A and B are shown apart, each in its own frame.
Chain A
Amino acid sequence: MKRSECIKALYEELEDCLVVTIMGACAQELYDLGHRENFFYLQHAMGLASSIGLGLALNRPHDRVVVLDGDGSVLMNLGTLTTLARYRPANLIHIIFDNGSLLSTGGFASHTTSGITDLAAIARGAGVPNVALTTTAYEFMEASADAFERNELSVIVAKVEATGPDHFGMDLKLPENAFRFERYIKEKN
């Protein structure tokens, strides 16, 4: 399964959500489907997308918050899974695309490549109440539908191929993205 297919399958569902993505391929693939004001692309600060999602989810309890994360980023901030589990925001869906690769920075193997490190097991061990490990598009869609339906913190680990877009770039300056995202939320009230 490809990450771009997963993001495409989610795209309509994301229309009313507050969405935070990690850097690089993941951000680009969402952007290329069409930017929306409710998308925030964290183009650096690896590991903190889920923390931003937590801050949003706790303060916007009536909005669905979706974090599109990656194995490399989560590995840089494993503690985040324990903090998510402790505060358990019911409106947060944390999707971790696990391609076993630091794809956006040269394609070097991440710790999950060999299969020794199991991010879903780590999430479960952290105490996240709903964790799904998906390896096919069908499983991913099913796990996503379940997560959007339930009113409880969910983590979905999606095993995807280490492929990304052939281009990078957005017509959106980084602070501009932050300012517009903040304004979108303010005007959503």
Chain B
Amino acid sequence: MTVSRENSKMVYQGIKDAGVRFLTALPETWLVYLLQMAEDDPQMTLIEVAKEEEAVGIAAGAHFAGTPNIMLLQNHGFLGSINGIVSLAMLYRVPLCMLIAHRGHMGEPYPWHTQGGMVTEPVLRGLGLPFDYAREPRKIGKQIHEAYTLSRSSLVPTALLLTRDLMEGDE
């Protein structure tokens, strides 16, 4: 399966429609078209990090500066960022909106993704963070808007899990 360019466009449009013009990311296969769109968009600032936990700090700095922002990362990057999420974002009530590529779940052919795929949801539940699965391209815009809105009103990190159905599509 390949990554769906059309569905990636819908995700990107959802990000733009939420009013976000500042993204942090670490490149990952499912995010490849999203990152290309962000790079080609003169309205968007894209900051690529060396490790995802940095993005929690950068997002907090952007938030303090009043800049709406979203984090793009793989679920393993989320797992690697837990201390930043807990001891910066949650501790200081800094909202984060995370769009997480949910690798390693149903249909995953690559063994190396599988453990991370199985523990992502339990970890989100353990942290008490609101999350939702994004499966349908036609709903993604609304879901991004809602995840973003809730992070801002609750001052709690929220996550949208970008699933295989969405990111690989039927192409």
Main secondary structure of the interface of B (DSSP, over half): helix
Closest A-chain residue to B64, C-beta based?
A: A182
Closest A-chain residue to B50, C-beta based?
A: A79
The tally of residues in A whose CB lies under 8 Å from a CB in B reads 37
Q: Which residues of B contact A143 (CB under 8 A)?
A: none
Interface-side segment among B30-38, B85-93, B106-114, B115-123: B85-93
Q: Is the CB of A56 within 8 A of B56?
A: no
Q: Is the CB of A175 within 8 A of B92?
A: yes
Partner among B49, B53, B91 whose Cβ is within 8 Å of the Cβ of A47 = B53
Main secondary structure of the interface of A (DSSP, over half): helix
- What 0/1 readout, one digit per residue, does chain B (73-89) give for beta carbons within 8 Å of chain A? 00000000001100110
Q: Which residues of A contact B62 (CB under 8 A)?
A: 55-56, 58-59
Closest B-chain residue to A51, C-beta based?
A: B57
Q: Is the CB of B93 within 8 A of A48?
A: no
- What 0/1 readout, one digit per residue, does chain A (45-73) give for beta carbons within 8 Å of chain B? 10111111111111110000000000000
Interface residues on B, range: 20 to 34
Q: Which residues of B contact A175 (CB under 8 A)?
A: 91-93, 155
Q: Is the CB of B88 within 8 A of A55?
A: no
Q: Is the CB of B65 within 8 A of A45?
A: no
13 contacts between A and B (CB under 8 A): A18-B64, A48-B57, A52-B88, A54-B61, A56-B65, A58-B22, A58-B58, A58-B62, A59-B66, A59-B67, A86-B48, A178-B92, A178-B93
The 5 A-B pairs of least Cβ separation, nearest first, read A55-B61, A51-B57, A79-B50, A48-B57, A59-B65
- Residues of A with Cβ closer than 8 Å to B? 18, 20, 40, 42-45, 47-60, 77, 79-80, 82-83, 86-87, 174-175, 177-179, 181-182, 185-186
